[in-house]
Amino acid sequence: RVLIAYEKGFLVLWDVSEDHAIAVRGYGDLHMKGQVTGAQTHASEDQIDNVDENEEEREICSLCWASRGGSTVAVGYITGDILLWDMTAVSSRQGKQTDVSSNVVKLQLASGSRRLPVIVLHWSAGSAKDTTKGGKLFVYGGDDMGSEEVLTVLSLESSNGLESVRCASRVDLKLDGSFADMILIPDTGVPDKIRTSALFILTNPGQLNFYDGGALFSARKSEEEYAQPEAQKFPVVVPTIDPSITVTDMYSLTGREHPSISLKANCRTSNIREYEMAFDWWGS
């Protein structure tokens, strides 16, 4: 199966072997099942948000799978909205066999009328014991215009599909420069590498920050009480103008192996600079 996203808002899940569309989704012809305002509250009946069927399609800026089995996809739009789409049911455009309202939930990070486009979305499964009922959604964008630079980490939980989606916690990782890129490092000790053991964020003008996955996944408190995870900074600025090739070796070390090592760099005098990094990595 192949997920096809069109710039103007259409999503098509295509079955290659059967040569037909399994599901078709679009922003302009839906009614919201629930809206998680501020990505902190439960989706409930008093939060239902109806969208005009004639509303024009919204441009897609980013998307990622938001479930292990490929049943849910998270889509970020130029308006600052994030929609969680259920891609398992047959589209209403293929014979009106399903109620479109059961196919989607909206996440809204800010209440302002002018919000930043959601240009980055990444997903990581949650607990190793039950990876089918939640996880972390990493978001860049969606806040009010003029907000400080942050990468938002939402902890989403669901006991029974989209209808029960709720946000258990929200963390805003403050950036020390404008966002450039990010990558999630999978936990090799978990089957299918579906969990995240580390997060790297690159900001301009070349600062690389490391976050331990255990710290990101352990928060269960509200936003006001949540302790900001500390980033370990790469000791050398990664050049963004006329850059050289950077090769990094990562080692996961326990406290008993190297209790005093948090980060080290070994720079070689050549056109290709190699850094060996070792973290005092306390996995959860």
Q: What is the pLDDT of residue 190?
A: 66
Express each pLDDT in 140-189 by its tens digit: 999 999 999 999 999 898 877 777 788 888 999 999 899 999 999 887 76
pLDDT at res. 101: 55
Per-residue pLDDT at 129 exceeds 60: no
DSSP 8-class letter at 176: S
Model confidence pLDDT, tens digit, residues 208-260: 999 988 777 775 554 455 667 888 888 888 777 777 776 766 666 555 544 44
Contacts of 233 by beta carbon, 8 Å cutoff, 6+ apart: 207, 208, 209, 210
Task: Report CA dihedral (161, 31, 2, 95) to the nearest 10 degrees.
Answer: 110
Q: Which two tokens stand for residue 130?
A: 């039950």
Q: Exposure pattern of 63-93 as b/e (b: 16+ CB <10 Å)?
A: bbbbbbeebbbbbbbbbbbbbbbbbbbebbe
Q: Indicate if the pLDDT at residue 277 is higher than 70.
A: no
What's the CA gap between 200 and 269, in Å, rounded? 25
Q: Which residue, 160, 170, 255, 246, is CA-closest to 208?
A: 246
Q: What is the mean pLDDT of residues 104-109?
A: 90
Name which residue leads in pLDDT, 63 or 70.
63
Q: Name every residue whose Cβ is closer than 8 Å to that of residue 31 and which is 6 or more positions away in sequence.
A: 48, 50, 51, 100, 101
pLDDT at 9: 85
% the chain with pLDDT above 70: 62
Give the integer Cα–Cα distance in Å for 215 and 139. Answer: 17
Highest mean pLDDT among 20-34, 73-87, 186-200: 73-87
Helices (H), the chain: 213-217
| Of the candidate ranges 25-34, 94-103, 180-189, 271-280, the one whose mean pLDDT is the lowest | 271-280
Average per-residue pLDDT for the chain: 74
Question: Among the ranges 78-92, 124-138, 259-273, which has the highest mean pLDDT value?
Answer: 78-92
d(C-alpha 279, C-alpha 264), whole Å: 8
pLDDT band at 78 (very low <50, low <70, confident <90, very high): very high
